[in-house]
A and B are shown apart, each in its own frame.
Chain A
C-alpha cells in the first residue's frame, strides 16, 4: 500500500458533490440554457454519401413564416474565410463546401425563434447533387477508386503527419508502423502459425444529452456555452478559425449529460460561433437523438492477426494489420491508429512483432474516440485469437496466457519497459473470481454453458498538459479552478478529495468552478482516462503550493510551525480583517519520448498503463442462438482508489456500455444510408439486458499518480467482448469473429459447425 500520509479524504467513498442537484433535476446543463433574443438552428443535412453540390434552394425555407434566416457555406465564408477544422486534420468544413462526404453532413441551417418552425422550414430546403462513387469498407478504402478527399490537409502542428500534407488519390489518413525483432525468422522457425481476422461494426456513444451548443457575441468577442469535453481545445480552435487571440473566445461548460468521447474537439461549436457572428444574436443548436448518428461514431475495424507459436505454447512472433474505418472526416482517428495501434499485439511478451495500422477515410459518419480509444477493438481480436490458439494446442486458456503474459520490468512492443501495470495481478484476480481452476458445471440439454476470460491494456495519451488553481479564501474555504469536465465520471468529487487531502479539510467543503476559459486554466481535454492522473497531479501540486504559501503566511505572522491555528486567523493576523487570498497553482505534463518513425520504438511510450480483465459465464440456446450472460466479472488496475464507490461504478458502467457493443449495438447502413438511427432500432442496454456483474480493482499503485491513482473510465470496457466470445466457444464450440454477437450469428455458426449451414434460399 502507498505510504503517503492520509487525512482520510483520499480513499473515502464520498457521495458525488453534485448528487443533490442531479437528484432534484436542478443540475445545470447547456440543454437548459436560453438567452434573450436567442435563435434556434436546425441543420439541413446531406441525403447522399458522396457528391458535388450542384445547387441548394433555400427560398421556400426562407419564406416560411417565422424563419429568421437560412445560412449556407457561402454565408459562413464571410465570417470564417477558411472554415476547416479538426484536431489532427483541418478537413471538416463548418457547412459543406462544394462537396458532401457522408449522409447527414450539415449543408445549411435554418434559424428561427421557435425550434418547431426551424425544423419545419429545414424540411423545405432542396439540394441537388452530382453523385460520386463512394466507399464504405475500411479494407476496400485502401485500394478503392473512390477517394473521399481530393487532397489531404493535416494540421500543421504534428510532425508525424507532415508527410501526408497535400497528398492526393489516397484514403489513408495515417499509417503507423512498428517493427521489433525479426518476425520473418520467428514465423520460419515456428512450430505453429495461426492467422485470424476479426471485425467490429460501427457503434456510437449516444449520451442521453445529445450534442448541444450555444454561442453569443459579446463586447469583446464570443462566448460559447457548450456540452464539450474539451473547452480549452474549443477556445484555441475557434480563435484559430477566426484569427483572433484566445482571450476573445470564452468557452463555458456546465455538467454534461454523458460524453464517452463524443463531445470532444469541435462538434457544433464552430457552427454556432459562425451563426452568432453572422446574425449577431445568440444561437442554440441542440441535436436530436437521430442527429447523433450523423455526427460521430466509434471506428468499425478489421484486424488481421498472425502468430508464431512454439510447441509448448510460447508466442514467438506476431504480425498485426489493423484497418480503422474513420468515416468522412479524420477527427481524432489518426491518433487512435497510432496510440492504440502500438498495443495491438496485446499484453504479451513477444520478441518479434510487426504492426501496420491504417486510418482510412470512407463515406460514412466520422469516427472518433469512444471509451477505450480503439482498445476494445484490438482486445476483441487479440484475446479471441489467444483462445483460438490455446484451444488448437489443447492448452488451458489461463495457462496459455500465464505463459505469455507481459510482466513488470519486461519490454512492451515499443521497447518501453513495463512499470506499474498490474497485468498479472488482474489476470490472476479474474481467474480467482471465476474459480477457473475448479471444475465448471455444464449442461446437457439444448442450453449449453461455457465460460471465458480475457485481458487487455491501454497506454495513456501523451504528452499533454493540465493546469489547476486552488484558491484559499480568508475564511479558510477552498475553491478549485480547473477545466476538467464532469460528464458523470465523478471528477469534481475526486479532485475535491485530492484538494481536501492536501489541505486537511473535508472534500464536501471544496467548491469546484466549472470550466470557463476566462476563469479556469488550460487543460488538454477530459478524455482517454487522462484526467485523474494529469489533472489530479496538477490539482495535488496546486493544493500543495497553496499549503506551502499558507505555511509562509503562518511564518510571516509569527505562528509557530505545527500550530493548529485555524486558517482564518492567519488571514486576520495579516490583514486585520477577513480579507485576502492564497492562490496555489500548478501545471503538470509527464515526460514522453516520441516513437521512432520507421520502427515505432521508444523508451517512454506512455505516462501510465491501464489494465482491464473480464470473465464471463454464458448459457447458449442452441435452438435459437440466444446467449444469456449469467455472470460478468470485471477487474481493473486503476492504481490507488481515490473514491472506491465511484471507481466501482466506473468499472461496471464501462462494462455495461461494452456489453451493449458486444451483444446488441450496431449502426446498420445500406449504401451509406443509416437505417436504424433511433433508440427504437439501435438498442442500447436496458436494465433488463444487463447481466449479473462483479467489478473489482486490484491492489495497485501508480508511483507518480496523485496519491498513487490513475485513470479508470475505460478499463472496464477492454476485455468484455472477447471474454463473452470465448465463453460462447467454450459452450458450443463456435467462434464468432465479428461484433456484435447476435443470436442469428451464433445460430448460423452452430449450424455451420454441424455441417448443416442455414440456407438463405
Chain B
C-alpha cells in the first residue's frame, strides 16, 4: 500500500461533501474491512479516503420505530446488530444470520452501511434485508433519497449509489406476523462465504424469496414466490428460472441443484419459524 490523504469529517454531510462527484480514487471508509483488503490487493489505490468514524454518533444508533420497525444508522456495526435486543425482537433472522457472517473481529468494525455499499454478491446481509423489505436513506450534495435495498445493487460489486452519495440509515418495516429464515450454503468449508444464500419472508398471502451468492447480485425469485405455498413447486420454479453464475464454489448445474434444495428447505424453515 502507498500513502493517501485521510480526512476525518465530523458530520455525515461534510463527509458526503468531501467525496468527489466523479473521482474513483476518492472513497469513503467506515470499518475498512473490505476497502483495506482491496487496497492491499492493489485493486483500489486511493488518492483520498474519507473516514466516517468521527461523524455524529447518532448514525450508529439502532432504534425501534413507532410502527414496530427498525431504524438503523449506517455506522452501526454488525456486532451491534447481532446483539441488539430491538433487532432480536423485530427481526431475529438478522441476528441468527450474523452469527455465521464473517467473524467476530470483522463484525466488530464492519458497518451495515459499508456492507451494503460494497455490493459484494457473496454476502449474507443483503438477501435478508431484501426479504424483510428494507430500504436505505442516502445523503449527497443533491439531497436525500430513499432506495429499496432490493434496488441498491446494480451488478457485480456495483450499486446505484452515486460516487458522492452515502448511505445514512437503514429502515426495516414492521414485520408483524411475517416469518423469516435465511439459509446459507457453503461448499468449500463450513466457514466460508456463501456458495448460495436463500432468504425467505413469509406472510399470510405472499412470500419474498431472495437468492444471493449464486447469482450476479442478490435478487427476488419471483417464479418461486408465486408457488410459495408448495415448497417443492417453489423450489422447482426457482431452479428452472434462475440465472446462475458458476465459480470455484460450484458449477451451474450443481448450484442449480443447490437452489432447488435450499429454496425448499428455507421455505420450510420459515414456515416453522416463530413470527
Interface string of B230-271 (1 = CB under 8 A from A): 000000000000000000101111100110010000000000
Q: Does B42 sit within 8 A of A, measured CB to CB?
A: yes
Q: Are B254 and A676 in contact (CB under 8 A)?
A: no
Residues of chain B with a CB closer than 8 A to A686's CB: 189-191
- CB–CB A120/B251 < 8 A: no
**B248/A676 in contact, CB under 8 A:** yes
A748 in contact (CB, < 8 A): yes
Shortest C-beta distance, A119 to chain B (Å), equals: 8
A675 contacts chain B at the CB level, 8 A cutoff = yes
Cα distance A683–B187 in the bound complex, in angstroms: 10
Give bound CA distance, A681 to B193, whole Å: 9
* Contact yes or no, B253 A116, CB < 8 A: no
Is B188 interfacial (CB 8 A cutoff)?
Answer: yes
Beyond A624-B257, A624-B258, A747-B257, whether A683 also contacts B251 by CB under 8 A is no
By a CB distance below 8 angstroms, the chain B residues around A748 are 254
Residues 729-761 of A, flagged 1 when their CB comes within 8 A of B and 0 if not, give 000000000000011100110000000001111
Q: Does chain B have a CB within 8 A of A623?
A: yes
A681 near B191 (CB under 8 angstroms)?
Answer: no
Given A116-B2, A123-B42, A624-B257: A681 and B248 interface contact (C-beta under 8 Å): yes
Which residues of the other chain, A, contact B214 by a CB distance below 8 angstroms? none
Beta-carbon contact of B258 and A116 below 8 Å: no
Chain B CB within 8 A of A209 CB:
no
Chain B residues within 8 Å of A681, by CB? 188, 248
CB within 8 A of B254: which of A123, A689, A744? Answer: A744
Q: How far is the CB of A688 from chain B (nearest CB, A)?
A: 4
In the assembled complex, the Cα of A668 lies from the Cα of B188 at a distance in Å of 12
Contacts of B63 in A (CB 8 A): none
A664 at the interface (CB under 8 A from B): yes
Q: Is the CB of B189 within 8 A of A758?
A: no
Hey, what's the 0/1 contact readout for B23-49 against A, CB within 8 Å counting as 1? Answer: 000000000000000000010000000
Contact A683 B192 (CB under 8 A): yes
Question: How far is B80's CA from A708's CA once the two chains are assembled, in angstroms?
Answer: 57
A685: Cβ under 8 A from any B Cβ: yes
Within 8 A of A (CB), among B174-232: 185, 187-193
What's the tally of chain B residues with a CB closer than 8 Å to chain A?
A: 20
B154 part of interface (Cβ distance < 8 Å): no
Q: Given the known A-B contacts A116-B1, A120-B2, are A758 and B253 also in contact in the complex, defined by CB atoms under 8 Å? A: yes
Q: Which one of A116, A123, A744 lies within 8 Å of B251 (CB-CB)?
A: A744
A residues less than 8 Å from B254 (CB atoms): 625, 744, 747-748, 758
Question: Smallest Cβ distance from B66 to chain A, in angstroms?
Answer: 40
Known: A116-B2, A120-B2, A744-B251. A664 touches B189 (CB 8 A): yes
Known: A623-B261, A624-B261. A688 touches B248 (CB 8 A): no
C-alpha spacing A123/B42, complex, angstroms: 9
Interface positions, chain A 220-279, Cβ under 8 Å from B, are none
Bound complex: CA A678 to CA B187 (Å): 17
Q: Are A688 and B191 in contact (CB under 8 A)?
A: yes
A624–B258 Cα gap in the complex (Å)? 6
List A contacts of B189 (CB < 8 A).
664, 683, 685-686, 688-689
The residue that A758 contacts in the complex, of B42, B187, B190, B257, with Cβ under 8 A, is B257
**How many Å lie between the Cα of A742 and that of B188 in the bound state?**
7
Query: Considering the chains assembled together, what is the distance between the CA atoms of A14 and B42 in angstroms?
Result: 47
Interface residues on A, range: 20 to 34
Which residues of chain B are near A676, meaning CB under 8 Å? Answer: 248
Within 8 A of A (CB), among B140-195: 185, 187-193
A668 in complex: contacting residue of B248, B250, B253, CB < 8 Å:
B248
A53 to B197, CA, bound (A): 46
Across the two chains, which residue of chain A brings its CB closest to B192? A683
A288 to B254, CA, bound (A): 34
- B260's nearest neighbour on chain A, judged by CB, is A623
B211 smallest CB distance to A (angstroms):
16
Interface string of A661-677 (1 = CB under 8 A from B): 00010001000000110
Residues of B within 8 A of A123 (CB): 42
Q: Which residue of A675, A683, A760 is within 8 Å of B252 (Cβ)?
A: A760
Q: Smallest distance from the beta carbon of A40 to chain B beta carbons, Å?
A: 14
Given A748-B254, A759-B253 in contact, is the A688-B1 Cβ separation under 8 Å? no
What is the chain B residue whose CB lies nearest that of A675? Answer: B248
**Which of A680, A688, A744 is within 8 Å of B190, CB to CB?**
A688
- CB of A439 to closest CB in B, whole Å: 30
Q: Which residue from chain B places its CB closest to the CB of A668 in the assembled complex?
A: B248
Q: Which of B189, B191, B193, B248 has the most CB of A within 10 A?
A: B189
User: Bound state CA distance, A40 and B61, in angstroms?
Assistant: 44
| Chain B residues closer than 8 Å to A742, beta-carbon distance | 187-188
Compute how far the CA of A747 lies from the CA of B191 in the bound complex, rounded to whole angstroms: 20
Q: Closest CB-CB distance, B110 to chain A, in whole Å?
A: 15
Tell which of A624, A668, A742, A759 has the most Cβ of chain B within 10 Å. Answer: A624
Smallest beta-carbon distance A410→chain B, Å: 42
Q: A760's contact among B191, B193, B251, B258, by CB below 8 Å, is which?
A: B251
Distance (Å) between the CB of B183 and the closest chain A CB? Answer: 11
Which parts of A543-596 form the interface with B (CB within 8 Å)?
A: none
CA gap between A168 and B258 in the complex, in Å? 50
On whether A683 and B2 interact (CB within 8 A), knowing A676-B248, A760-B253, the answer reads: no
Instruction: Provide the residues of chain B in CB contact with A119, threshold 8 Å.
Output: 1
Q: How far is A639 from B78 in the complex, measured between Cα atoms in Å?
A: 51
Most buried by B among A120, A681, A742, A744: A744
Q: Which of A675, A743, A759 contacts B187 (CB 8 A)?
A: A743
**Once the chains are docked, how many angstroms separate the CA of A623 from the CA of B251?**
15
* Chain B residues near A680 (CB-CB < 8 A): 193
Within the complex, which residue of A116, A120, A664 is in contact with B188, where a contact is CB–CB below 8 Å?
A664
Chain A residues near B192 (CB-CB < 8 A)? 683
Q: Tell me the bound Cα distance from A742 to B254 in angstroms.
A: 12
Quick one: closest A residue to B3, CB to CB?
A116
CB < 8 Å neighbour of B185 from A624, A685, A760: A624
> What CA separation (Å) do A123 and B2 show in the bound complex?
12
| Cα distance A680–B187 in the bound complex, in angstroms | 13
The chain B residue with its CB closest to the CB of A676 is B248
**Which residues of chain B are near A759, meaning CB under 8 Å?**
253
Closest Cβ of chain A: how far from B23's Cβ, in Å? 21
**A664 to chain B: which residues have CB within 8 Å?**
188-189
Nearest A residue to B252 by beta-carbon distance?
A760
CA of A748 to CA of B252 in the docked complex: distance in angstroms?
12
Chain B residues contacting A668 (CB-CB under 8 Å) are 248
Tell me the bound Cα distance from A689 to B189 in angstroms.
7
Q: Please, how many angstroms separate the alpha-carbon atoms of A664 and B258 in the complex? A: 18
Closest chain B residue to A686 by CB distance? Answer: B191
B235 CB to closest chain A CB (Å) equals: 11
CB B254 to nearest CB in A, in angstroms, measures: 5
Shortest Cβ distance from B261 into A: residue: A623
Q: How far is the CA of A761 from the CA of B261 in the complex (A)?
A: 20
Given contacts A683-B188, A686-B189, A689-B190, contact A744 B250 (CB under 8 A): yes
A692 CB, nearest partner CB in chain B, Å:
14
Q: In the bound complex, how far is the Cα of B257 from the Cα of A675, in angstroms?
A: 25
**Which residues in B have their C-beta under 8 angstroms from that of A624?**
185, 257-258, 261
Contacts of B193 in A (CB 8 A): 680
Within the assembled complex, what's the spacing in Å between the Cα atoms of A744 and B42?
32
Smallest CB gap from B195: residue in A? A743
Given contacts A624-B257, A758-B254, list 12 more A-B pairs with CB under 8 A. Answer: A120-B1, A626-B187, A681-B188, A681-B248, A683-B192, A686-B189, A686-B191, A688-B189, A747-B254, A747-B257, A760-B252, A761-B253
Pairs A–B under 8 Å by Cβ, sample size 28:
A119-B1, A120-B1, A120-B2, A623-B257, A624-B257, A624-B258, A624-B261, A625-B254, A626-B187, A664-B188, A680-B193, A685-B189, A686-B189, A686-B190, A688-B190, A688-B191, A689-B189, A689-B190, A742-B188, A743-B187, A744-B187, A747-B254, A758-B251, A758-B253, A758-B257, A760-B251, A760-B252, A760-B253
The 8 closest A-B pairs by CB, nearest first: A683-B189, A688-B190, A744-B254, A688-B191, A686-B191, A683-B188, A689-B190, A623-B261
Residues on B close to A: CB < 8 A? 1-2, 42, 185, 187-193, 248, 250-254, 257-258, 261
